[in-house]
């Protein structure tokens, strides 16, 4: 049953004082928080995860770091679609609207009461600061009211744990050192992951993230937002070798990525091929139909454009896998983890599997690839075991680095 049902449940604080007393210093708040917490090491292994870093409001309950009892994701795609990308102010507003119902539903679906939780985990960053603040403030309030430990999680570490939590046992299972490629709308990063979840940044995009390139190319061509799933669905209908794009050459760190060049190359191609009529036809389709089917898209997308999409996707995949393989070699990786929204891409999955790499490749199941809160609760579990708890001074950090 929902448990966020108001004031009557507020437990009295340990010393009878108010947490939100005017003028309380950070230090005073910390002491108060520590006194107030019921059990520093609670016996329950169930963690409520809360994620609000970008345009998904998500809540989940995960037991033992891997058993997903519930995972609720409230997507804002419909809100942002007409702008062709995420509008930060609208995102914060939508999070405010969705956060309470999302948490209630997650607890209800997990058949878990607040009293049965061991901790609350929340995304601290990176992300949009206004969005992060909504999840952070609500998580802090819940943790304080219910006297539960609060755990701060880095969103990127969450993406990595979306995979680790599902493949820490079994055959094959993730062995370390592992190479993690986190590839989404906001991130394209390569990390070395060592035993004990220690991270080292090996490479990152210097401009656009790969998912952002998918989204921008789709927007330019009159397909909706987000562009990744649409390009993924249409690419198999085109020839991936029809348009030659050059791979980015990186000065300095050869493990860094760049996707702005290919985005500009697509723009030049569009300008040179007089595509305005078909782009208008697609925009009209999008205005008339909420989510056009592949067949509907195919009717307004000539062969040459399908070739362009297929070639664009193939080049992005080649870029991702080339640098991932080089990084894996550099660290002697025994596993490759691919995570983030772009990990949904079927072309990337096929290419990674058919590359016959010397180590196994692990992808998250599709529901855990894009932003979700189960990955936040899963990433919090090792911190929970180590007693790594945050206090009332915890702040959202839009640029939080993992390593
Ligand atoms: P972020 O953490 O940056 O908010 P997510 O992890 O939620 O992003 O991933 C969203 C991104 O993933 C978007 O850029 C979207 O276009 C991309 N994406 C989702 N599905 C696919 C797909 N099948 N192929 C390529 N990109 C995809
Ligand atoms: Mg993400």
Ligand 1 site-directed mutation target among 187, 224, 228, most atoms within 8 Å of CB: 228
Using the atom order of ligand 1, give the atom closest to the CA of residue 347.
24
Is the per-residue pLDDT at 14 higher than 70?
no
Is the per-residue pLDDT at 32 higher than 60?
no
**398 belongs to a structural domain:** no
Residues 87 and 231 in one domain: no
Residues 141 and 220 in one domain: no
Query: Are 315 and 183 spatial neighbours (Cβ–Cβ below 8 Å)?
Result: no
Is the per-residue pLDDT at 12 higher than 60?
no
Tokens encoding 258: 């760049």
Burial call 67-88: b when 16+ CB within 10 Å, e when fewer: ebbbbbbbbbeebbeeebebbe
pLDDT, tens only, 295-331: 999 999 999 999 999 999 999 999 999 999 999 999 9
Is the per-residue pLDDT at 22 higher than 50?
no
Residues 218 and 342 in one domain: yes
**289 belongs to a structural domain:** yes
Q: Which of 22-26, 28-32, 259-263, 384-388 has the lowest mean pLDDT?
A: 22-26
- For 248, the domain range is 210-363
Is the per-residue pLDDT at 19 higher than 80?
no
Is the per-residue pLDDT at 33 higher than 60?
no
What is the mean predicted confidence (pLDDT) over 69-89?
90
Residues 139 and 244 in one domain: no
Is the per-residue pLDDT at 357 higher than 50?
yes
Residues 215 and 148 in one domain: no
Residues 214 and 276 in one domain: yes
Is the per-residue pLDDT at 6 higher than 80?
no
DSSP state letter for 396: -
Report the C-alpha gap between 280 and 125 in whole angstroms: 38
C-alpha 163 to ligand 1 mean position (Å): 16
What is the mean predicted confidence (pLDDT) over 51-55?
96
**Whole-number pLDDT of residue 211:** 97
**104 belongs to a structural domain:** yes
Residues 29 and 87 in one domain: yes
Going by their DSSP bridges, the two strands 150-154 and 335-339 should be labelled as: unpaired
Tokens encoding 326: 């080089």
pLDDT, tens only, 170-225: 899 999 999 999 999 999 999 999 999 999 999 999 999 999 999 999 999 999 99
**180 belongs to a structural domain:** no
Q: Measuring CA to CA, how many Å separate 120 from each of 6, 61, 114, 256?
A: 18, 9, 10, 35
How many domains, in total, are found in the chain? 2
What is the mean predicted confidence (pLDDT) over 231-249?
96
**Whole-number pLDDT of residue 38:** 58
Report the C-alpha gap between 216 and 264 in whole angstroms: 10
Please tell me whether residue 356 adopts helix, strand or coil conformation: coil
Report the C-alpha gap between 167 and 340 in whole angstroms: 16
Query: Are 185 and 341 spatial neighbours (Cβ–Cβ below 8 Å)?
Result: yes
Among candidate residues 159, 176, 68, 156, the one with its CA nearest the CA of residue 112: 68
Ligand 1 shell residues, CB under 6 Å: 54, 184-187, 211-212, 214-215, 226-229, 232, 340-342, 344-345, 370-371
Residues 98 and 237 in one domain: no
Average pLDDT, the chain: 90
Residues 214 and 318 in one domain: yes
Tokens encoding 97: 């609207």
Tokens encoding 64: 């033992």
Q: What is the CATH number of the domain that holds 323?
A: 3.30.420.40
Residues 280 and 358 in one domain: yes
Residues 375 and 345 in one domain: no
C-alpha 261 to ligand 1 mean position (Å): 20
Residues 251 and 152 in one domain: no
Contacts of 218 (CB under 8 A, 6+ apart): 224, 225, 226, 227, 228, 230, 231
């Amino acid at each position: 049953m929902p448990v966020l049902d108001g004031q009557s449940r507020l437990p009295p604080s340990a010393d009878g004082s108010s947490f939100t007393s005017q003028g309380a210093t950070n230090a005073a708040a910390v002491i108060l928080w520590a006194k107030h917490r019921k059990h520093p090491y609670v016996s329950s292994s169930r963690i409520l995860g809360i994620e609000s870093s970008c345009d998904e409001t998500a809540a989940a309950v995960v037991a033992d770091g891997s058993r997903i009892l519930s995972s609720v994701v409230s997507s804002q795609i419909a809100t942002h679609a007409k702008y062709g990308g995420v509008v930060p102010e609208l995102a914060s507003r939508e999070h405010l609207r969705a956060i309470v119902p999302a948490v209630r539903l997650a607890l209800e679906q997990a058949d878990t009461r607040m009293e049965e939780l061991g901790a609350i985990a929340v995304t601290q960053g990176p992300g949009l600061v206004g969005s992060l603040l909504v999840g952070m403030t609500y998580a802090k309030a819940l943790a304080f009211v219910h006297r539960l430990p609060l755990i701060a999680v880095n969103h990127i570490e969450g993406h990595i744990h979306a995979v680790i939590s599902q493949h820490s046992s079994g055959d094959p299972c993730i062995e370390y050192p592992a190479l993690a490629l986190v590839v989404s709308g906001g991130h394209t990063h390569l990390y070395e992951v060592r035993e004990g979840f220690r991270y080292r940044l090996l490479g990152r995009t210097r401009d656009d993230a790969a998912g952002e390139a998918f989204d921008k190319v789709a927007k330019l061509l009159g397909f909706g937002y987000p562009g990744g799933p649409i390009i993924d669905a249409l690419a198999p209908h085109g020839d991936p070798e029809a348009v030659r794009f050059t791979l980015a050459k990186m000065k300095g760190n050869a493990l860094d990525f760049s996707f702005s060049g290919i985005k500009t190359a697509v723009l030049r191609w569009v300008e040179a091929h007089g595509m305005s009529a078909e782009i208008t036809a697609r925009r009209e389709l999008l205005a008339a139909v909420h989510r056009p089917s592949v067949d509907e898209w195919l009717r307004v997308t000539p062969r040459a454009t399908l070739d362009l999409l297929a070639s664009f996707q193939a080049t992005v995949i080649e870029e991702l896998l080339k640098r991932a393989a080089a990084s894996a070699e550099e660290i002697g990786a025994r596993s490759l983890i691919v995570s983030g929204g772009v990990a949904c891409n079927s072309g990337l999955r096929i290419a990674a599997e058919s590359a016959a790499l010397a180590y196994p490749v692990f992808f998250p199941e599709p529901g855990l690839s894009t932003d979700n809160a189960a990955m936040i609760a899963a990433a919090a579990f090792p911190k929970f075991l180590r007693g790594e708890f945050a206090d009332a001074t915890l702040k959202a950090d839009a640029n939080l680095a993992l390593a």
